[in-house]
């Protein structure tokens, strides 16, 4: 009888440690993936900026170009925006942009604040003046740069800690409950 109780406790303890470890790893992964996605957006928007600034390329073609060098998970976003603006169905570019974010980017690791800032790019695209557009994109890129460097600090300090804390929290809970 004692053996069965002991075995149950042991299985429970292992499950607790596994669960908390998993939470720690998920937290760390969220930070890493968000960091990767922000870097991806930085690269993608930089292409957008240079194509508007120097090549005078129409948006549908820029989006298709970006899709080719976009990070995994973002291709469908650029593909969708390019497809939608060619439909000519009385939609504003801003709305097409926002809809595409809702459908394609929300499933990623970007935070609500990241997505909110990214939504602003849709408004920039609706502007007529090229210089103003480029200026606004530069502002967005510098904000993005700041967010990335802040996240990098968090990533460096918290990533390992989160994983370790996950394991330790599991062990701690197990000792208390034992």
Partner 1 sequence: MDLKNIIPVELRADFVRIVSSSIGLEEIRLRVGQVTRIIVNNEEFILNKSIIITRSHIQECLDYISGYSLFAYENELSQGYITVEGGHRVGVAGKVVCEKKGVKTLKYIHSINIRVAHQLIGCANDCIEYIRKQKGIYNTLIISPPRCGKTTLLRDIIRQLSKGNNHYKGMNVGVVDERSEIAACFEGIPQNDLGPRVDILDGVSKAQGILMLLRAMSPQIIAIDELGGEKDVESLEYCITSGCGVLATVHGKTYEEILRNKYLGELIKSKRFKRYIILSNHNVTGQVQNVLDENGKTILI
Determine contact, residues 116/27, Cβ cutoff 8 Å: no
Give the integer Cα–Cα distance in Å for 145 and 38.
9
The count of other CB atoms within 10 Å of the CB of residue 66 is 23
Residues 89-108 that bind partner 1 (CB under 8 A): 89-90, 92-93
For residues 127 and 136, give the distance between their C-alpha atoms in angstroms, rounded to a whole number: 10
Q: Is residue 57 close enough to count as binding partner 1 by CB under 8 A?
A: yes
Binding marks (x or -) toward partner 1, 114..133, rule CB under 8 A?
A: -----------xx-xxx--x
Q: Indicate whether 176 belongs to the interface with partner 1 (CB under 8 A).
A: no
86 sits in the region (left: phi over 0; alpha: psi -120 to 50; else beta) called alpha
Looking at 6-14, 85-93, 104-112, 152-160, which segment touches partner 1 (CB under 8 A)? 85-93
* Chain residues in the site for partner 1 (CB under 8 A): 52, 56-61, 85-86, 88-90, 92-93, 125-126, 128-130, 133
């Amino acid at each position: 009888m004692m053996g069965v109780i002991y075995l149950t406790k042991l299985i429970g303890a292992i499950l607790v440690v596994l669960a908390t470890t998993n939470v720690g790893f998920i937290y760390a992964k969220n930070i890493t993936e968000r960091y990767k996605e922000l870097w991806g957006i930085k690269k993608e928007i930089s292409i957008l900026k240079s194509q508007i600034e120097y090549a005078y390329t129409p948006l549908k073609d820029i989006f298709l170009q970006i899709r080719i060098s976009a990070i995994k998970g973002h291709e469908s976003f650029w593909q969708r925006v390019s497809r939608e603006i060619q439909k000519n169905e009385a939609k504003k570019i801003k709305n097409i942009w926002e809809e595409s974010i809702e459908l394609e980017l929300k499933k990623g690791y970007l935070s609500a604040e990241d997505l909110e800032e990214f939504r602003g790019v849709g408004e920039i695209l609706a502007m007529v003046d090229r210089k103003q557009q480029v200026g606004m994109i530069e502002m967005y890129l510098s904000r993005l740069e700041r967010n990335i460097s802040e996240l990098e600090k968090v990533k460096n300090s918290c990533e390992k800690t989160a994983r370790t804390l996950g394991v330790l929290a599991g062990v701690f809970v197990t000792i208390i409950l034992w």
